[in-house]
Structure 1
Amino acid sequence: MSSSPLPMAPAGSITLVQGIEVGHFTDTRRPTGCTAILAKAGAVGGVDVRGAAPGTRETDLLHPTNLVERVHGIMLAGGSAWGLDAASGAMRWLEEQGVGLDISVGRIPLVPAAVLFDVLVGDMRIRPDAHAGYAACQAASSAMPAQGNVGAGAGAAVGKIFGIQRAMKGGIGTASVTVDGVTVGAIIACNALGDVLHPDTAQVVAGARTSDGLGLIDTRRALLRGEPPQPLLAGTNTTIGVIATDATITKALASRLATVGHDGLARAINPVHTMSDGDTLFCLGTGAAGRSPGMMVLATMAAEAVAQATLQAVLHANRLQIDAGENHKALHLPSAADLQ
């Protein structure tokens, strides 16, 4: 156990990107929830799915060769596949605001979504639904979003490769980078199978714990020295998030920024993109800055924002204690601060 406090990531937020609003819904009945990332004026969209067990909705329309150019929000949710229903609530709310693709007889809000698996944390019968997605949109604003045990990160855990009983609390975090008046931000809900590392030092910040629960085992080194992982059910993890920029970009460039954003995940999570993760990153380009510093700079900014937002997710997480119930087991997930 280290005696020095963990360094916090630089200040920033995806809501510093012009045209982006964020709102959370956190279910008080068990730790789960959803997070709406809204671009009510519309934003060029892209996506890159790297995990082998994703849960997604409306990702095909984001392919650069497909018709639709702009979307109106992204929904991130817990609840595994059931959580995809939260996007329906976001569509309903946006339609009420007059937001969506004009089809002459009305408007269709376009809200791609991705989910993470948090149903081992408490009663799995409680999960985000359309009501939750609607409430997240109602709460959306350009203010600094809450981080840690809220929204899509409420039931997140990290470091489950040796069993969830040795895992730690994950969460949701945000960060941003601004260069010459252009901002790239990210919001990441981290429910990773692997450990979370500090992207600047490679120090393990949160993840699988030693058998006594008092320290970090360092999953990468443990696997390389031959410690066997616990048998895993595919899709029981997943880190999902959104990159946004106010730079002027095309749909193809939005997809490329989603791709390079995964470099940030690889700097902050190990192992990442596993057969039991559904790691998915979206990208939104509002164009509100009216210019671009070029893709080399934007790509560097995107990877940095993702890495730092992933770190923020666990640094802001609080410990979670769930007592045994009729439909769930007892669970203790310490926070990163608890092990310092």
Structure 2
Amino acid sequence: MTEKRLKTGPLNLITDVPGVLVGNATDETVKTGVTILRCASSFVTAVDIRGGAPGARETDVLSPENLVGRADAIVLTGGSVFGLAAADGVVSVLSSKNIGLRLGVKGPAIPIVPAAVLHDLSNDGDKNWGETPPYRALGVKAAKCVGAEFTLGATGAGRGAMAGINKGGIGSVSLALENGIMVGALVAANPVGSVFMPDGKTFYAWPWELNSEYGAHTPTTARDNADPFPSHSRFSEQTQAGANTTIAIVATNAQLTNIEAKRIAIMAHDGIARAIRPAHTAFDGDIVFAVATAQKELPAGPEFSRQRLIARVGAAAADCLARSIARAVYEANY
């Protein structure tokens, strides 16, 4: 049997999913930033939270048992609790463009903008902002500069991030599946755990790398004999809950229901566990959003074939998220 050759999309970014756009805004003085994902229209959205210290906004509205189950944009941001204000800026920009829910004849459009935050308040950026944290303004800026191409590494929500003892950052990749289905991932990587094997060069995500996207470094030993708390993690420091997190978005052009998107988000968390050791600790606030632009119908077939295809998309999302985490750290450090 001939091995199937995996291919990325043309940009190898989440924006290879048609209709998806991304914008970064960075404050170099504060050493923080905001990253947003926008779609051409409101899109099916779900979320799964696995970290022990999450920081988020508007996640309950995405639950399958609730009314909306869709979003107009998703915000990833630094700044811990202060960063949640970035979503206010995005809401203002979108509403001014008449984007969002209409619950009556009168009143402005109501954009649904979930957000997730990471903690970058301990870096050496100037945090003396008094009563005017920069995040609302950064949200406005990011919302106004979305596009298909964007910068990776220490920028946007990843500007002040750390991955273990190394710089974290923004990472993104894509994967083209059969039947025209595209899957992509976007991540702001700030985990307490390590992304590197004990040699400090080989990413735990090395088996899933495509086209040397994060250095093509392979391990020199047959197995990882590291302690459960690897030396490149931050467990040797005074670790505090909420001071670390990996926040991410996976996207596909497949036509999914909200419940199916939730399954994709659940499966995508495996990518965090593949790329970071340890993952999903009490000190992390790991959150994964899953979005479906519903541009590509899943092929019809025998009983349970749809579920197999959804599993295929979920597995691809996990691989993409693992690759994105490694790529975020690679772009921030090399």
Asked if structure 2 preserves the Cα contact closer than 8 Å seen for 1:44 and 1:254, the reply is yes
Per the TM alignment, residue 81 of structure 1 is displaced from its structure 2 partner at its CA by 0.8
Aligned partners of 2:134 and 2:291: how far apart in 1? Answer: 23
Name 1:116's counterpart in structure 2.
118
| Equivalent residue number for residue 59 of structure 2 | 59
- Alignment of 1:299 with 2:302, yes or no, is no
Matched with 1:198 is: 204
User: Residues 1-340 of structure 1: matches in 2 within 5 Å?
Assistant: 12-104=12-104, 105=106, 106-122=108-124, 123-125=126-128, 128-141=134-147, 143-159=148-164, 167-180=165-178, 181-196=180-195, 197-201=203-207, 220-221=226-227, 223=229, 229-291=236-298, 294-317=309-332, 335=333, 337=334
Distance 2:227 2:193 in 1: 12
Q: CA offset at residue 255 of structure 1?
A: 0.9
Name the amino acid aligned to 2:60: D
1:4 alignment partner in structure 2: none
Count how many residue pairs are aligned between Structure 1 and Structure 2: 290
Q: Structure 2 CA distance, aligned partners of 1:310 and 1:146?
A: 14
The Cα shift of 1:290 comes to 3.4
Q: Deviations over 1:34-64 (max 9, x none)?
A: 0010124110010011100000000001111
Counterpart of 2:316, as a letter, is: M
Residue 201 (structure 1) shift: 4.0
CA contact (8 A) 1:42 1:72 kept: yes
Residues 228 and 86 (structure 1 numbering): CA distance in 2 closer, same or farther, change over 3 Å?
closer
Maintained 8 Å contact 1:47/1:62 = yes
1:241 deviates by 0.9
Instruction: Specify whether residues 90 and 14 from structure 1 end up closer, same or farther in structure 2 by C-alpha distance, changes over 3 A only.
Output: same
Q: Which runs of 4+ in 1 moved over 4 A?
A: none
Indicate the residue corresponding to 1:332 in structure 2: none
Calculate the TM-score normalised by the size of structure 1. Answer: 0.80
Instruction: Give the Cα–Cα distance (whole angstroms) in 2 for the partners of residues 171 and 285 of structure 1.
Output: 24
Contact 2:229 2:277 in 1 (8 A): no
Root-mean-square deviation (CA, aligned residues, Å) is: 2.4
Tell me, what secondary structure is at the counterpart of 2:237? coil
SS state at 1:132 partner: helix
Structure 1 alignment gaps of length 5 or more:
1-8, 160-166, 207-217, 318-334
Letter in 1 for 2:256: I
The alpha-carbon distance between structure 1 residues 128 and 45, as it changes in their structure 2 partners (threshold 3 A), is: farther
Give the corresponding residue for 1:328: none
Shift of 1:182: 0.8
- 1:36 is aligned with what amino acid? I
Normalised TM-score (structure 2): 0.81
How far off its partner does 1:219 sit? 10
Give the secondary structure class of the aligned counterpart of 1:288. Answer: strand
CA drift at 1:228? 7.2
AA partner of residue 53 (structure 2): A
CA contact (8 A) 2:35 2:77 kept: yes
In structure 2, list runs of 5 or more residues that go unmatched.
1-6, 196-202, 216-223, 300-305
- SS across alignment from 1:243: strand
Q: Give, in angstroms, the shift of residue 222 of structure 1.
A: 6.4
CA distance in 1, matches of 2:293, 2:285: 26
Deviation of 1:279 (Å): 0.5
Question: Structure 1 residues 284, 108: closer, same or farther in 2, change over 3 A?
Answer: same
The amino acid that maps onto 1:286 is T
Where 2:46 maps in the other structure, the secondary structure is strand
Q: Cα deviations across residues 99-158 of structure 1 (Å, max 9, x unaligned)?
A: 1012222310000000000011122345542111010010101x2221001100000111
Alignment partners' CA distance in 1, 2:31 and 2:112: 27
* Matched letter for residue 267 of structure 2: V
Distance 1:136 1:120 in 2: 23
Match of 2:173, SS state, is strand
Partner residue of 2:4?
none
